[in-house]
Amino acid sequence: MRRLLTVLAAGVPLAAAVYLPTASAETKDPSATSAFVCSAPAVKAPAGTEVESVTAVGRQGGTIAGTGVLGGSVSGVPAYCEVTVILTHPGDNDHAKVRTWLPVTGWNGRFQGLGGAAYLAGDNNVGLGTAVKSGYAAVSTDAGVGDALDTSWALNSEGRVDTALLENFASRSQHEAAVVGKDVVDAAYGKRPSYSYFTGCSTGGRQGYMEAQRHPEDFDGILADAPAVNWDEFEVATLWPQIVMNNEKTYPSQCEFTAFSNAAVKACDSLDGVKDGLVDDASRCDFDPRRLIGTKVLCEGKELTVTTADATVVRKIWDGPRTASGKKLWYGVPVGADIWALAAHTDPDAGGNVIGSPFPVPAAWLKLWVAKDPSLDLSAITYSRFAQLFRQSQTEYDKVIGTDDPDLSRFRKSGGKLITWHGEADQYIPTQGTVQYRQKVERELGGAKKADDFYRLFLAPGTNHCGLNGLDGSADGLAALTAWVEHGKAPRTLPATLVNDQGQKVSRDLCGYPQVSRYKGHGDPAVASSFKCVSPSRH
């Protein structure tokens, strides 16, 4: 994630990390080591589609470079066969590419579907390479759309939303990729996968939830992290920091935002019983930014005094979007998360004018899909206009891409298992949206214990968006998922490496929601064994 934040600072913002599940529970399938021929198989078109072409190319492996703005690479990838199937939906004039990578030797009998990031519907090769390196046959689809920040497909030549491509991106292409990928595996190895998994973070996490809701038999296990569920709501909500600054005509500097975040972390650090540089259960942190009014902050050699207006902006950003009359619309930036990620702006010019720099993913959603106006001036949106656009997004797109249907009864009945971790300092997708969805599932299915039978949520203190990807911390969610699916070992905790506010790596066992971590009163705070999981205190 640090690499991604460096790219952000260079002016190329990204919506999510490249997701790299580590796939530790490997089981080689000896029946899959027979002679392998890389050839284009006959592929049956999934319902509602036609197959335009099928090709197969043998690849040597080695170091695989990630495409597009996400970049990245993975080394040590063994030889594999890449089968590419182009699908179209008659009458829609779309062309969705489904790529299946097949290990030439050492297939472990498992199948993995890979999700995307931002407006990228699938993987950019790094995840596919990682899966093959771990012995998986893997599939990904581009859904007929573009790269992570490419929204050229949003509107057609008449200025209307391209509903076919939106449906591809929102739901149908991921299911079709699962169907095609399994057929390709069957043709290549002479047998279908023993187990099928889906992994993704951010957009990929949303796709995992969509699969569980609409196509519950596609995958035995789904690892859906920092999921972009509630898309129609949070995408608009993430423009709120810009709306606040523009309407309040106050633009705190990046340094000042950091001072507010640091003060909140310091004030709420001991909620778990020890000062360890991490805020456990950030939703309970009630630090009032007005406590900093009048204090001095050193920013790039200049001493700044925190004003009442600065504190008002931060309080509104943390609180989240509301209507002009004060009704809450959605959750705000979590306390402790990087506010600047959504509240970036230029330095004042000679006349003191500041221009906001909205994060491009929600900016595109609001301009293209909601307002249908690429020239919409986001800086001129009032609080009341914002609330109207928020409601419009809900009305038009909840059933299309909301992905917040709590009825997972069919997924539970199919025997599926779902694991999610979400960073409590997620700067792009408010953690509480995921918590709210889990609570809705509990109400729908009859309580927390019934939900826990197949669905576990883990919140990661101090962790940013998709931050447990091995750079700013790590957690082997796929190992936990395979152990649950294949051996019935439900994860009570999820072992993780976190990074505290001093940049130090510490070990933690993430607690299954709703439990939180509490210091035992003795032992090294950097070691997981010094903590236990307890029910949260009333707050």
Residuewise pLDDT in 10s, the chain (539 residues): 334 433 433 333 343 334 455 444 455 554 444 568 999 999 999 999 999 999 999 999 999 999 999 999 999 999 999 999 999 999 999 999 999 999 999 999 999 999 999 999 999 999 999 999 999 999 999 999 999 999 999 999 999 999 999 999 999 999 999 999 999 999 999 999 999 999 999 999 999 999 999 999 999 999 999 999 999 999 999 999 999 999 999 999 999 999 999 999 999 999 899 999 999 888 889 999 999 999 999 988 899 999 999 999 999 999 999 999 999 999 999 999 999 999 999 999 999 899 999 999 999 999 999 999 999 999 999 999 999 999 999 999 999 999 999 999 999 999 999 999 999 999 999 999 999 999 999 999 999 999 999 999 999 999 999 999 877 799 999 999 999 999 999 999 999 999 998 899 999 999 999 999 999 999 999 999 999 999 987 64
Could you give the number of structural domains in the chain?
3
Residue 447 and residue 431 share a domain: yes
Buried b (16+ CB within 10 A) or exposed e, 133-171: bbbbbbbbbbbbbbbbbebebbbeeeeebbebbbbbbbb
pLDDT of residue 538: 61
* Domain assignment of residue 186, yes or no: yes
The pLDDT of residue 281 is 86
Same domain, 306 and 438: no
* Other Cβ atoms within 10 Å of 273 Cβ, number: 17
> Is residue 450 located within the same domain as residue 385?
no
- 75 by Cβ neighbours in 10 Å (0-12 / 13-18 / 19+) ranks as exposed
Q: Are residues 120 and 61 in the same domain?
A: yes
11 part of a folded domain: no
Which residue in 281, 426, 472, 501 is the catalytic one? 426
Asked, for residue 78, whether it belongs to a domain, the answer is yes
Domain that holds residue 146: 36-193
Q: CA-to-CA distance for 248 and 313, rounded, in angstroms?
A: 7
Task: Answer whether 469's CB lies under 8 Å from 478's CB.
Answer: no
Q: How far apart are CA 157 and CA 171, in angstroms?
A: 23
Q: Mark whether 257 and 204 lie in a shared domain.
A: no
Number of CB atoms found within 10 A of residue 495's CB: 15
Task: Let me know whether 52 and 123 are in one domain.
Answer: yes
User: Of 366, 398, 430, which marks where a domain is finished?
Assistant: 398
Q: Which residue has the tokens 């009825």?
A: 407
User: Over the range 319-345, which residues count as b (16 or more CB within 10 Å of their CB) and which as e?
Assistant: ebbbeeeeeebbbbbbbbbbbbbbbbb
122 and 258 inside one domain: no
| pLDDT attached to residue 21 | 52
Q: Is residue 321 part of a domain?
A: yes
Q: Flag whether 301 is in a domain.
A: yes
- DSSP H or E run through 259: helix 254-268
Residue that is last in its domain, among 359, 382, 398: 398
Catalytic residue among 276, 465, 474, 517: 465
Tokens 């991490």 map to which residue?
Answer: 278
Q: Active site includes 134? A: no
CA separation for the pair 124, 361 (Å, rounded): 18
Pair (133, 111) in one structural domain: yes
Tell me whether residue 465 is one of the annotated catalytic residues: yes
Give CA separation, 536 vs 193, 404, 440, 490, 511, in Å: 41, 25, 19, 21, 11
Residue with tokens 């047998």: 191
Length of the chain: 539
pLDDT of residue 5: 38
Residues 165 and 72 in one domain: yes
Catalytic residue, chosen from 140, 173, 202, 393, is 202
Same domain, residue pair 392 and 434:
no
Which of 86, 94, 107 lies closest to 31, judged by CA? 107
**Domain shared by 82 and 154, yes or no:** yes
Tell me whether residue 171 is one of the annotated catalytic residues: no
- Final residue in a domain of this structure, among 376, 398, 420: 398
For residue 371, is it within any domain? yes
Question: Encoding tokens for residue 512?
Answer: 């299954």
Residue 15 lies in a domain: no
Are both 394 and 263 inside the same structural domain? yes
